[in-house]
Amino acid sequence: MSSGDRVTRLLRLLNPELAHKLTIAALKRRRLKRLDRDGDPRLALRLFGLSFPSPVGLAAGFDKNGEVPDAMLRLGFSFVEIGTVTPRPQRGNPKPRIFRLPADGAVINRLGFNNLGHDAVARNLERRRGRGGLVGVNIGANKDSDDLIADYIAGVSRFAPLASWLTANISSPNTPGLRDLQEVDVLDPLLGEVMEAREASIAAAGRKVPLFVKISPDMDDGQLTALLETVLRHQVDGLIIANTTVSRPTMTSQQLQQPGGLSGRPLFEPSTAMLARVRALVGDRLVLIGVGGVDGADTAWAKIAAGADLVQLYTGMIYKGPSLPERIKAGLMDRLEGRNFSHISEARGIETARWAAAWPRQDETAGAPASPKVSGSRRRKRKKSDKPRTPKKTSSANHRP
Smallest gap from residue 138 Cβ to ligand FMN (A): 5
Q: Which of 132, 163, 148, 129 is nearest to 60 (CA)?
A: 163
CA distance 269 to 160: 33
SS3 366: coil
**How many CB atoms neighbour CB 38 within 10 A?**
7
Site string for ligand FMN, 41-70 (x = CB under 6 A): ------------------xxx--x------
Q: Which residue's beta carbon is nearest to the bound ligand FMN?
A: 61
Q: What does the alpha-carbon distance between residue 35 and residue 73 come to, in Å, rounded to a whole number?
A: 9
Q: Residue 346 Cβ, how far from ligand FMN at the closest point, in Å?
A: 24
| Choice from 8, 23, 78, 84 touching ligand FMN (CB under 6 A) | 84
Rg (CA), the chain: 20
* Contact set for ligand FMN, span 236-255 (CB under 6 A): 243-244
* Minimum distance of ligand FMN from residue 271's CB (angstroms): 7
Q: Classify the phi-psi angles of 213: left when phi > 0, otherwise alpha if psi is within -120 to 50, otherwise beta.
A: beta
Query: Beta strands 261-264 and 50-52: pairing type?
Result: unpaired
CA distance 193 to 183: 16
Verify binding: residue 97, ligand FMN, rule CB under 6 A. Answer: no
347 is an interface residue for ligand FMN by CB under 6 A: no
Question: Which positions from 267 through 326 interact with ligand FMN, judged by CB under 6 A?
Answer: 267, 291-294, 313-316
Instruction: Verify whether residue 172 is a known catalytic residue.
Output: yes
Q: Would you say 266 or 360 has its CB closer to ligand FMN?
A: 266
350 burial type by CB count under 10 A (0-12 exposed, 13-18 middle, 19+ buried): middle
Which one among 110, 143, 158, 214 touches ligand FMN, defined by CB under 6 A?
A: 214
Closer to ligand FMN by CB, 53 or 264: give it. 264
Of the pair 172, 230, the CB lying nearest ligand FMN is at: 172
Of 151 and 370, CB closest to ligand FMN:
151
Nearer to ligand FMN, 53 or 112 (CB): 112
Q: Which of 8, 78, 86, 138 binds ligand FMN (CB under 6 A)?
A: 138
Residue of 54, 171, 172, 201 with catalytic role: 172
Please list, in sequence order, all residues whose beta carbon lies within 8 angstroms of the beta carbon of residue 327, skipping any fewer than 6 positions away. Answer: 296, 297, 320
Q: CB under 6 A: which stretch of 104-112, 142-150, 158-166, 220-228 binds ligand FMN?
A: 104-112
Site for ligand FMN in 118-137 (CB under 6 A): none
| 63 or 221: CB nearest ligand FMN | 63
Q: Which phi and psi (to 5°) does residue 150 adopt?
A: -60, -35
**Which whole-number Å values give the CA distances from 400 to 241, 273, 291, 354, 365, in the listed order?**
17, 8, 17, 9, 22
Relative orientation angle of helices 297-306 and 324-338, to the nearest 10 degrees: 60
Q: How far apart are CA 98 and CA 361, in angstroms?
A: 32
- The residues carrying an active-site annotation are 172
Residues of this chain that interact with ligand FMN (CB under 6 A) are 59-61, 64, 83-84, 98, 107, 109, 111, 138, 169, 172, 214, 243-244, 263-264, 267, 291-294, 313-316
